[in-house]
Amino acid sequence: MILVTGGAGFIGANFVLDWLAQSDGPVLNLDKLTYAGNLENLASLQGDPRHVFVQGDIADGALLQGLLTEHRPRAVVNFAAESHVDRSIHGPEDFIQTNIVGTFRLLEAVRAHWGGLDEAGKAAFRFLHVSTDEVYGSLAATDSAFTEEHRYEPNSPYSASKAASDHLVRAYHHTYGLPVLTTNCSNNYGPYHFPEKLIPLMIVNALAGKPLPVYGDGMQIRDWLYVKDHCSAIRRVLAAGQLGEVYNVGGWNEKPNIEIVQTLCALLDELRPRADGKSYREQISYVKDRPGHDRRYAIDARKLEKELGWKPAETFETGIRKTVQWYLDHPDWVAHVQSGSYRDWVSKQYR
Ligand code: NAD
Ligand code: DAU
């Protein structure tokens, strides 16, 4: 069994679904079910005995100790986090609590569990921490992409809290010998992406006839990776990564935000044309910029490719088309996540 934390969120749910589709190894899924956690993401696993779901907090040491003792997982994959930069600007506290204190408590519980294993169990055990390229800060237009050696320069409360968690993970390896692995990935997109983030927000707003809010000049650059490629990278690092090492994960796919929005409009124009025959581009609306907005991220994923042989399977063109189609095919999922709390967030952020 492996323990996955945050497995009801966007990437965690994709990871659990893919893991169970590709192996018989059971998954213990610990998720607090915050606004971002959604059991509908895991609906296809209902009745599957290989998936054990527990609602709980990674900061709950007693719960963690009980789960580790009962289920004796051979690995922990830590996705659980507060993940939205804009929310971290409005209210950083939850980010400090989950991303820093939560990761610390998880590390403590895992350290105690690992310390009690026999030598073979200790050698086989892995703690994989899922992190972000945002810990490296922002690049200028001509800078080369982030390598694993790039210094940490986090700029938002979110990225600072993720950076702190990365440092704790590193320290637990260095000090206690805990068998850790860290992945730092670029922007993901794909099925089950909560529509507070750029790509799903633009799709659901476009279909609802609402404005498509582009921050600032729309020329900020992100490096986009289809979520299932992120999941395959994590599986590869878990299977073959060198202990204590960090692996950057990315798709070599830098694009300015406005180009992403225009691509989404073009796909929707083709797949679900507006009733009035006009383009969804008409809905694009430039709005106030995000405070401290990082200008550019770009990931150098050569280490993962050279050392572990990983490459993404999707191009941006294939991945983004699949993603738009997924949202068109899942109107019920979209309607259900746009609950009262979602509407409160949208009115606070875009008022
Ligand atoms: P998400 O917000 O969609 O999901 C986070 C999940 O964690 C939710 O299910 C939530 O309920 C759960 N959670 C939150 N606090 C918890 C707690 N205290 N205890 C247990 N569960 C808790 O996030 P995501 O986009 O799926 O990101 C997953 C991880 O990947 C995060 O660590 C994030 O930093 C990292 N990451 C995300 C991206 C991206 O583009 N989305 C890119 C690189 C790295
Ligand atoms: O780089 C990895 C990170 O990518 C992850 O660690 C984060 O968890 C994830 O949320 C994501 O962070 P970003 O801030 O890059 O993602 P977001 O989708 O919020 O924004 C992408 C870009 O689009 C960013 O430059 C801000 C811009 N944007 C976003 C929203 C929500 C807009 O222009 N308008 C919007 O309404």
Stretch 56-69: mean pLDDT: 98
Which residue's C-alpha comes closest to atom 33 of ligand 1?
A: 83
CA of 86 to the centre of ligand 2 (A): 8
Pocket of ligand 2, candidates 88, 182, 197: which has the most ligand atoms within 8 Å of its Cβ, to mutate? 197
pLDDT tens for 184-238 read: 999 999 999 999 999 999 999 999 999 999 999 999 999 999 999 999 999 999 9
Q: What percent of the chain has pLDDT over 90?
A: 99
Rounded Cα–Cα distance for residues 170 and 270 (Å): 47
Beta-sheet pairing, 221-226 with 187-189: parallel
**How high is the pLDDT of residue 177?**
98
CA of residue 220 relative to chain centroid, distance: 19
What pLDDT was estimated at residue 310? 98
CA of 15 to the centre of ligand 1 (A): 12
Please report which helix (H) or strand (E) contains residue 3, including its range: strand 2-5
2-189+226-250+294-313 is classed CATH 3.40.50.720: yes
The catalytic residues are: 133-134, 158
Q: Using one digit for the tens of pLDDT, what is the confidence trace for 295-333?
A: 999 999 999 999 999 999 999 999 999 999 999 999 999
Evaluate: CB of 188 within 6 angstroms of ligand 1. Answer: yes
Residue 351 — very low, low, confident or very high, per pLDDT cuts 50/70/90?
A: confident
CB atoms within 10 A of CB 43: 10
The pLDDT of residue 70 is above 90: yes
CA of 239 to the centre of ligand 1 (A): 22
pLDDT tens digits for range 149-171: 999 999 999 999 999 999 999 99
Phi and psi at residue 278, in whole multiples of 5°? -85, 165
Q: Answer yes or no: is the C-beta of 11 below 6 A from any ligand 1 atom.
A: yes
| Ligand approaching nearest to the C-alpha of 36 | 1
Residues with CB under 6 A from ligand 2: 83-85, 132-134, 186-187, 197-198, 201, 213-215, 220, 222, 257, 290, 297
Max intra-chain CA distance, the chain = 68
Say what the pLDDT of residue 23 is. 87
Ligand nearest to the CA of 102: 1
Q: Take atom 19 of ligand 2 and give the residue whose Cα is closest.
A: 197
**Range 177-200 burial, b when 16+ CB lie within 10 A, else e:** ebbbbbbbbbbbbbbbbbbbbbbb
Q: Which residues contact 325 (CB under 8 A, 6 or more apart)?
A: 271
**86-143 per-position pLDDT tens digit:** 999 999 999 999 999 999 999 999 999 999 999 999 999 999 999 999 999 999 999 9
| Contact yes or no for 314/229 (Cβ under 8 A) | yes
What does the alpha-carbon distance between residue 109 and residue 131 come to, in Å, rounded to a whole number?
Answer: 20
Residue type, 328: L
- Whole-number Cα distances in Å, 81 to 162, 213, 266, 278: 8, 25, 33, 40
Q: How many angstroms is it from 150 CA to the middle of ligand 1? A: 23
Distance between Cα 197 and ligand 2 center (Å): 6
The per-residue pLDDT for 154 is 98
Q: Per-residue pLDDT for 340 more than 90?
A: no
Please give the structure tokens belonging to residue 99: 């991303």
Q: Residue ranges per domain, the chain? A: 2-189+226-250+294-313
* Secondary structure of 74-115 in HEC code, one letter for each residue: CEEEECCCCCCHHHHHHCCHHHHHHHHHHHHHHHHHHHHHHH
Pocket test for ligand 2, best of 161, 215, 323 (most atoms within 8 A of CB): 215
